[in-house]
Amino acid sequence: MKAKKNPKVDLNRNSGLYFVIGLALTLFLTWRALEYKSYDTSLKEVIVAHMAESDLREEVPVTENLKLPPPPIPPSAPTIIEVVDDTEEIEETVIQSTETDQESVIDAPIIDVDEVVVEEEEEEITVPFAVIEDVPIFPGCDQGTNDERKACFQRKIQEHVGKNFKYPPVAVEMGIQGKVYVQFLIDTQGHVTRIKSRGPDRLLEEEAERIIASLPRMTPGKQRGRPVNVPYSIPVNFILM
């Protein structure tokens, strides 16, 4: 069976080549169209012409000759110069040196032995509350033996704390509670001094110190008949109910 068409006149055999050539030509024309730039020449000419005309115009300022009077003649020097003699005398102040050398003799005042007063400095003695001979006496606890006065002292301290106790409102709002240990000193005059505290919060410590600072004056403790300092410590419980 013979082919109906001549292979040399077949239009589809080079269709792929024609498609590639057409695609390349289309891409080239598209690229040239995107890269093409145009400028407005009329606006440029107008701006250049306007700038040229403004630069060529130069305004010449109008000047005027001012007629000023001549400067005044300076005063002439005096013809006679009088010389005045300075006859005032200046008194010189002599400053004596206060330094001394090795050859200088200093007269020191002679002090008799009888004029020297020797002051005895009292030694500060501190005796713990548990071993002191005569415990500090709280007001109202002056009767009975030393052990009875000691028990009365501790009872009065507890009553004082319970009577003057005030829970800090801020600590109540924040839910702060705990035990504060307060240490203080009963000096030789019976005053409460050197108050120190240690607790879970500063608010509770300040309240415990305030209670102890309000203690009344007591009769100082004695050791061998001599007033001494007596330290004492007490716990203060802060409990929210």
What's the predicted TM-score (pTM) here?
0.49
pLDDT at 124: 79
End-to-end CA distance of the chain: 119
What's the CA gap between 228 and 123, in Å, rounded?
10
pLDDT of 169 over the 50 cut: yes
pLDDT of 75 over the 80 cut: no
Please give the residue that has the higher pLDDT: either 153 or 121.
Answer: 153
pLDDT at 125: 84
The strand pairing partners of 126, in sequence order, are 229
pLDDT at 48: 42
pLDDT of 134 over the 80 cut: yes
HSE (side-chain half, CA atoms, 13 Å) at 209: 13
pLDDT of 49 over the 50 cut: no
**Alpha carbon 43 to chain centroid, angstroms:** 67
Write out pLDDT tens, residues 179-233: 999 999 999 999 999 999 999 999 999 999 999 999 999 999 999 889 999 999 9
What's the CA gap between 103 and 126, in Å, rounded?
54
Q: Give the torsion sign (CA, 119, 123, 124, 125).
A: negative
Q: Which domains does the chain possess?
A: 146-238 (3.30.2420)
Q: How far is CA 194 from CA 18, 47, 63, 137, 215, in A?
A: 112, 95, 96, 19, 13
* φ and ψ at residue 183, rounded to 5 degrees: -120, 135
pLDDT at 185: 94
Write out pLDDT tens, residues 146-157: 889 999 999 999
Identify the band that residue 61 occupies on the pLDDT scale cut at 50, 70 and 90: low
What's the CA gap between 111 and 106, in Å, rounded?
15
What's the CA gap between 139 and 55, in Å, rounded?
112
